[in-house]
Structure 1
């Protein structure tokens, strides 16, 4: 089935089409959920809830944009909803909690395996991780993030800046350890 036929099958409630759609997108969407959630179990919950929403709202898809992008947005929003349920104060971190600051032109660099990067991302405090994912990976603006999460734009910018600094520090430590292992 092509994408349009698959969507049509899901709209009509065809279980075979639903399974095929799930199989086609679940791996990539699990990656999206893992970036937001603290654990694999939480990400799995977000993925399952997200696909329930996909199947119940598929009639609303207008066929005029990216279907994968539409599904991705549902997964991001579902992940955020789960985090909000479990973490009422995810965005109220103490200013002294992390004293990492990067200049605007500094970039996180280095060669890390995807698993290592996901592990590092999962160590971020919730607010930092969510804002970093939304801004750096999903492409939301700070204004959109602020509206979506009910925080100020400045809080979004601050959380993003602190997340970058924290990630940079973690990545440098991992790279230093890798270099030392190679030398030994």
Structure 2
């Protein structure tokens, strides 16, 4: 399960939060995702992770190994709905009124697809001159729009998830990678 937890932290936590309680992606701590209710079997979960859903969940086949996908299933099934992480998230919400770190927002919401250093993975490389605003038409305002509204091509929308301060901070962080 340790490998599944590591893969989850690096690839999934940006959308599902580090404790699996949901954000852009669904809450994986509920009984449906834990396999206690509904029809999400292990096989169906492998299929969802492998092929994506077409509704924001990207396909991970070719990005992570089949072994990693199976480890992820085990990790998701082991997430406890009563974990202490949910109270920490409540504290985090209140703390966001204070100065927001673009690096921490990036690590929490973006690194799963763009890698911690922004060099790209499932999502594009954000360290090239286009994304840094040195070439092309990507300005800070355009980047805010992309982060807020998504692209419809794999980039999810974060407009309802990030506060204005978090959005400003993460865009500044990306422009400085």
Q: TM-score range by the shorter chain?
A: 0.3 to 0.5
Report which structure shows greater RCO (CA 8 Å, sep ≥6).
Answer: 2
Scaled by the length of structure 2, the TM-score of the pair is 0.33
Scaled by the length of structure 1, the TM-score of the pair is 0.32
- Report the structure number with the largest CA radius of gyration: 1
